């Protein structure tokens, strides 16, 4: 049969057009730039000649530049740990919320949504003061008052505490932003499970843990996959909070930098900027994201979860 | 296997009193039906027995054992729901095995018990499927199997047939009843379908707004409704009710109703006088009224009304004829061959034993009002 533009195609056109203009086109452009030696936005001079030089440069940076190696390690650790915190934390919060009294649940939800609702700069500023290395920093002043430490600690930059402390700060700051997403998605999914199933399980003698393990969590596994993949991709590309933390000196310049921020700084920082190199790093980031996304779907057995459609479509 | 007893059980949700001072006995091995309209507290009562809710006040006994404070799993009840509540991510086998696995029963025994109950409910071929691949009737059997596999002392059924089509409902009704009898299990079945209640129950408990309205075998609840609620809730179409005023005919109280006069029996007349009623509600069932072309004979003992046919609904085995009597609608059931036309003037005759009188203030049937008066008169 010859494919025809059915009603589905018709309704997809606007969305496809938007994706084309705002996503596919820039993507192609940036892949193209990654093969050019574009520097300091000097388009006239550098566009046109293409080579693999940027990728070669990245490869040797990876092998020989200790700072770039720090960035890569930070990216891996930051992404995986924050992902675990986001998904497991979101799941834990949603389950707690599910078993919680109605009256408590609203303030509780708002509380956890605050980090996401607060503007990035304000939210980061709170953490800036919290981890500030002077005696006035919140954490320092608390610990000094308690007598745990005598001197103020440079939490994110003291070489003796690197890299773990810098990583911890990144995970904490971003973790609080991310958990609310999982919490909201999981909570609404849990609420869609008929209440009678929970009652039936209780009558059959299920403890709260067994109820979660055998009845509730298996039924929201699709949502867990969704949140995991979504958070993975957004963590790979996030840099707003991290940028401020680095700029304000809360964390070490390299032990506190992920690849997404590296791309941003290379392309847009003052002084010499290297758009070609940044584009190459960005391209690699996209490839990593796509590959990891597929692996995640595979590992979570996405296919098995696809239910056969109820009727015959098409 | 066990008798279930409630003693003055109440359950409140904030300001709502879902179950109000309910005292009941569910006899061992009997099939009791809880019948009431939506929101009357039927499910709440069932969940109280299952232990999902703790009563606000009152006590619950299984035999001699006070289970009021026991969690659900220590009560050994089986529960079946209207929406089946099967776990969609488990096969039928795993659904049925689930209660046993929670109890840590060894797998070989689980297997033999699942097979046994599957055979009983004739679902052996479905064990490998998922609930989403079953019809409503099959899902209901699986839900029943899951409730029965743990050999419960009490089987609680919360409107289990409501989602099935009419024909299937009839056959599962009969099957469920047979199954309960052969297992000798104490069953409490919730429904808002009065025909279902009448056909299945050893005993019916009529409940409205959290209060028990009447308890008794189906015939009794039908023949001798304790109050107006029961009279109008049970029966299809429901009982006709007409307002009447009490007058005196040479010292004997008579009721003026819809333009005619009804002379109550001596027993009822006594209650009317004793309670000093000046108004009563006259009620009768549509199937107890006869439609006549001419006024009934002089000797007719009962209620006679004059009405005009408004609507005729032929149902095949009978017709439902709605008439207007002094401006009020009255329904009667007639045999199929009697099919009057709209506008026809006809006479309605209801023999005395079929006419029910109620106190309009308390809604009580006069016999039940008499009992109350007698109880109030006793000194203690
Ligand atoms: N968990 C609850 N919280 C607050 N109110 C409740 C709760 N459960 C029941 N109610 C209220 O208690 C009353 C009785 O509810 P219940 O579910 O027992 O009625 P029902 O007879 O089973 O009705 P239906 O035939 O519609 O199932 C209703 O007014 C209901 O709103
Ligand atoms: Mg109910």
Q: A203 and B79 in contact by Cβ < 8 A?
A: yes
For the cut 60, the answer to whether the pLDDT of residue B138 exceeds it is: yes
B77: chain A residues, CB-CB within 8 Å: 203
Confidence of residue A314 (pLDDT cuts 50, 70, 90): very low
The continuous run of DSSP H or E covering B370 comes out as helix B366-377
Q: B146 and A210 in contact by Cβ < 8 A?
A: no
| B37 CA: nearest ligand 1 atom | 25
pLDDT average, residue stretch B112-129: 93
Residue B350 · residue B289 · CB < 8 Å: yes
Please tell me which of the candidates A194, A201, A205 has its beta carbon nearest to residue B83: A194
Please list the alpha-helical segments (H only) found in B55-157: 92-102, 107-120, 136-148
Compute the 3-state secondary structure of chain B and give helix, strand, coil in percent, each to the nearest 5.
30, 35, 35
Residue among B11, B44, B160 to mutate when testing ligand 1 (max atoms within 8 A of CB): B44
How close does chain B come to A308, measured CA to CA in Å?
10
Phi, psi of A267 (to 5 degrees): -85, -35
What does the DSSP 8-state code read for residue B124?
A: G
Across B276-301, b (16+ Cβ under 10 Å) vs e yields: ebeebbbbbbbbbbbbeeeebeeeee
Q: Which of B256, B258, B251 is nearest to B273 (CA)?
A: B251
Ligand 1 centroid – CA A33 distance (Å): 65
For the cut 80, the answer to whether the pLDDT of residue A279 exceeds it is: yes
For the cut 80, the answer to whether the pLDDT of residue A305 exceeds it is: no
Q: B79 and A194 in contact by Cβ < 8 A?
A: no
Average model confidence (pLDDT) across chain A:
88
Is A17 within a domain?
no
Query: Which residue from B minimizes the CA distance to A221?
Result: B89
For the cut 60, the answer to whether the pLDDT of residue A134 exceeds it is: yes
Residue B34 · residue B205 · CB < 8 Å: yes
Q: Which residues of A touch B (CB under 8 A)?
A: 194, 196-197, 199-206, 210, 214-215, 218-219, 307
What does the DSSP 8-state code read for residue B341?
A: P
Is A26 within a domain?
no
pLDDT average, residue stretch B68-82: 93
Strand spans (E) along A73-155: none
Is A91 within a domain?
yes
CA distance A287 to A219: 31
For the cut 90, the answer to whether the pLDDT of residue B18 exceeds it is: yes
In the prediction, which pLDDT does A63 show? 93
Residue A53 · residue A63 · CB < 8 Å: no
Instruction: List the domain range (segments joined by +) for residue A297.
Output: 41-306
Residue B196 · residue B228 · CB < 8 Å: no
3-class DSSP state of A232: helix
* Higher local confidence (pLDDT), B214 or B194: B214
Residue B356 · residue B234 · CB < 8 Å: no
Q: Whose CA is nearest to atom 22 of ligand 1?
A: B43
The continuous run of DSSP H or E covering B212 comes out as strand B211-216
Q: Whose CA is nearest to atom 27 of ligand 1?
A: B38
Is A243 within a domain?
yes
For the cut 70, the answer to whether the pLDDT of residue A3 exceeds it is: no
Facing residues of B347 across strands?
Answer: B292, B306
| Dihedral in degrees, nearest 10, Cα atoms A32, A34, A35, A36 | 90
Mutation pick from A205, A208, A218, A306 vs chain B, by most beta carbons of B within 10 Å, is: A205
Q: How far is C-alpha B20 from the geometric centre of its chain's CA atoms?
A: 18
Is A295 within a domain?
yes
Whole-number percent of chain B with pLDDT over 90: 84
Please tell me which of the candidates B72, B98, B146 has its beta carbon nearest to residue A202: B72
pLDDT average, residue stretch B164-178: 87
In the prediction, which pLDDT does A6 show? 75
Which structure tokens are listed for B208? 């409205």
The region of weakest confidence among A27-41, A92-106, A290-304 is: A290-304
Mutation pick from B53, B75, B78, B79 vs chain A, by most beta carbons of A within 10 Å, is: B79
pLDDT average, residue stretch B149-168: 90
Confidence of residue A297 (pLDDT cuts 50, 70, 90): confident
In the prediction, which pLDDT does B378 show? 79
In the prediction, which pLDDT does A4 show? 63
Is A94 within a domain?
yes
Q: Return the CATH number at A275.
A: 1.10.3720.10
3-class DSSP state of A278: helix
pLDDT tens per residue, range A139-192: 999 999 998 888 899 998 888 988 999 999 999 999 999 999 999 999 999 999
Say which residue the tokens 């320092």 belong to. A140
pLDDT tens per residue, range B178-207: 999 999 999 999 998 888 999 999 999 999
The region of weakest confidence among A7-21, A56-70, B104-118, B334-348 is: A7-21
pLDDT tens per residue, range B248-257: 988 899 999 9
Rg (CA), chain B: 25
For the cut 50, the answer to whether the pLDDT of residue B244 exceeds it is: yes
In the prediction, which pLDDT does B52 show? 93
Q: Is B122 left (phi over 0), alpha (psi -120 to 50) or beta?
A: left
Residue A155 · residue A165 · CB < 8 Å: yes
CA distance A300 to B114: 31
Contacts by residues B63-71 (CB-CB < 8 Å, ≥ 24 positions apart): B63/B2, B63/B3, B63/B28
Please list the alpha-helical segments (H only) found in A47-163: 53-64, 66-98, 102-117, 120-131, 138-146
A202: chain B residues, CB-CB within 8 Å: 52, 72-73
Query: Which residue from B minimizes the CA distance to A201?
Result: B99
Phi, psi of B6 (to 5 degrees): -110, 135
3-class DSSP state of A268: helix
pTM value is 0.82
- Whether B16 is in the pocket of ligand 1, judged by its Cβ within 6 Å, is yes
Q: A197 and B103 in contact by Cβ < 8 A?
A: no
Residue B293 · residue B341 · CB < 8 Å: no
Secondary structure tally for chain B: helices H, strands E: 10, 20
3-class DSSP state of B162: coil
Ligand 2 centroid – CA B20 distance (Å): 16
pLDDT average, residue stretch A26-52: 87
Is A32 within a domain?
no
- Domain count across chain A: 1
Please tell me which of the candidates B88, B102, B146 has its beta carbon nearest to residue A210: B102
Q: Which of A214, A221, A179 is nearest to A88 (CA)?
A: A179
Is A2 within a domain?
no
How close does chain B come to A202, measured CA to CA in Å?
7
CA–CA–CA angle A46, A47, A50 (5° rounding): 95
Which structure tokens are listed for A274? 């290297």
Decide if the complex's ipTM is over 0.85: no
* Higher local confidence (pLDDT), B77 or A297: B77
Across B191-207, b (16+ Cβ under 10 Å) vs e yields: bbbbebbbebbbbbbbb
């Amino acid at each position: 049969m010859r494919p025809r533009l059915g009603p589905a195609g018709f309704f997809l056109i606007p969305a496809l057009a938007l994706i084309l203009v705002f996503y596919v086109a820039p993507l192609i452009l940036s892949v193209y730039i990654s093969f050019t030696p574009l520097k300091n936005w000097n388009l006239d001079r550098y566009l046109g000649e293409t080579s693999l030089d940027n990728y070669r440069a990245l490869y040797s940076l990876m092998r020989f530049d200790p700072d770039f190696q720090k960035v890569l390690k930070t990216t891996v650790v930051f992404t995986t740990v924050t992902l675990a915190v986001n998904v497991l934390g979101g799941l834990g919060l949603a389950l707690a919320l599910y078993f919680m009294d109605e009256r408590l649940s609203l303030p509780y939800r708002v509380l956890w949504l605050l980090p996401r609702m607060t503007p990035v700069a304000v939210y980061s500023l709170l953490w800036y003061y919290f981890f500030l290395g002077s005696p006035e920093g919140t954490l320092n002043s608390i610990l000094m008052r308690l007598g745990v430490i005598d001197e103020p600690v440079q939490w994110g930059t003291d070489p003796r505490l690197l890299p773990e402390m810098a990583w911890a700060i990144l995970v904490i700051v971003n973790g609080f932003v991310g958990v609310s997403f999982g919490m909201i998605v999981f909570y609404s999914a849990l609420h869609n499970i008929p209440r009678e199933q929970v009652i039936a399980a209780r009558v059959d003698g299920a403890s709260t843990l067994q109820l979660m393990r055998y009845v509730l969590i298996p039924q929201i596994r699709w949502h867990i996959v969704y949140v995991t993949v979504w958070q993975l991709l957004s963590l790979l590309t996030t840099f707003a909070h991290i940028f401020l933390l680095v700029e304000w000196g809360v964390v070490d310049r390299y032990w506190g930098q992920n690849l997404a921020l590296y791309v941003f700084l290379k392309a847009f920082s003052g002084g010499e900027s290297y758009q070609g190199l940044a584009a190459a790093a960005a391209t690699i980031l996209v490839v990593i994201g796509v590959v990891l996304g597929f692996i995640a779907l595979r590992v979570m057995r996405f296919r098995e979860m696809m239910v056969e459609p109820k009727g015959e479509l098409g | 296997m066990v008798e279930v007893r409630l003693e003055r059980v109440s359950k409140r949700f904030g300001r709502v009193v879902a179950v109000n001072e309910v005292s009941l006995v569910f006899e061992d091995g009997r099939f009791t039906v809880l019948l009431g309209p939506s929101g009357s507290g039927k499910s709440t009562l069932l969940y109280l027995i299952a232990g999902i809710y703790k009563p606000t006040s009152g006590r619950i006994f299984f035999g001699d054992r006070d289970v009021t404070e026991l969690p659900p799993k220590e009560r050994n009840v089986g529960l079946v729901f209207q929406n089946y509540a099967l776990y969609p991510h488990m096969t039928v086998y795993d659904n049925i095995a689930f209660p046993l696995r929670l109890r840590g029963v060894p797998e070989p025994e689980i297997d033999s018990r699942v097979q046994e109950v599957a055979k009983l409910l004739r679902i052996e071929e479905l064990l490998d499927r998922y609930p989403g691949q079953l019809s409503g009737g099959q899902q209901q059997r699986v839900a029943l199997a899951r409730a029965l596999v743990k050999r419960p002392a009490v089987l609680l059924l919360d409107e289990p047939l409501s989602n099935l089509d009419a024909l299937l409902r009839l056959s599962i009704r009969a099957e469920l009843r047979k199954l309960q009898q052969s297992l000798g299990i104490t069953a409490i079945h919730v429904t808002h379908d009065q025909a279902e209640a009448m056909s299945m129950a050893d005993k019916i408990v009529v409940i409205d707004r959290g209060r028990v309205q009447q308890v008794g075998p189906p015939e009794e609840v039908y023949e001798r409704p304790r109050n107006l609620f029961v009279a109008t809730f049970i029966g299809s179409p429901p009982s006709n009710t007409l307002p009447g005023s009490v007058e005196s005919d040479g010292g004997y109280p008579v009721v003026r109703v819809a333009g005619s006069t009804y002379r109550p029996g001596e027993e009822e007349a006594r209650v009317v006088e004793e309670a000093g009623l000046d108004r009563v509600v006259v009620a009768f069932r549509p199937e107890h009224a006869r439609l006549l072309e001419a006024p009934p004979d002089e000797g007719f003992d009962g209620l006679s009304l004059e009405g005009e046919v408004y609507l005729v609904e032929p149902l095949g085995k009978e017709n439902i004829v709605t008439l207007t009597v002094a401006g009020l609608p009255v329904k009667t059931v007639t045999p199929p061959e009697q099919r009057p036309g709209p506008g026809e003037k006809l006479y309605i005759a209801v023999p005395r034993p079929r006419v029910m009188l109620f106190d309009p203030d308390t809604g009580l049937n006069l016999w039940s009002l008499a009992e109350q008066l007698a109880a109030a008169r006793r000194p203690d």
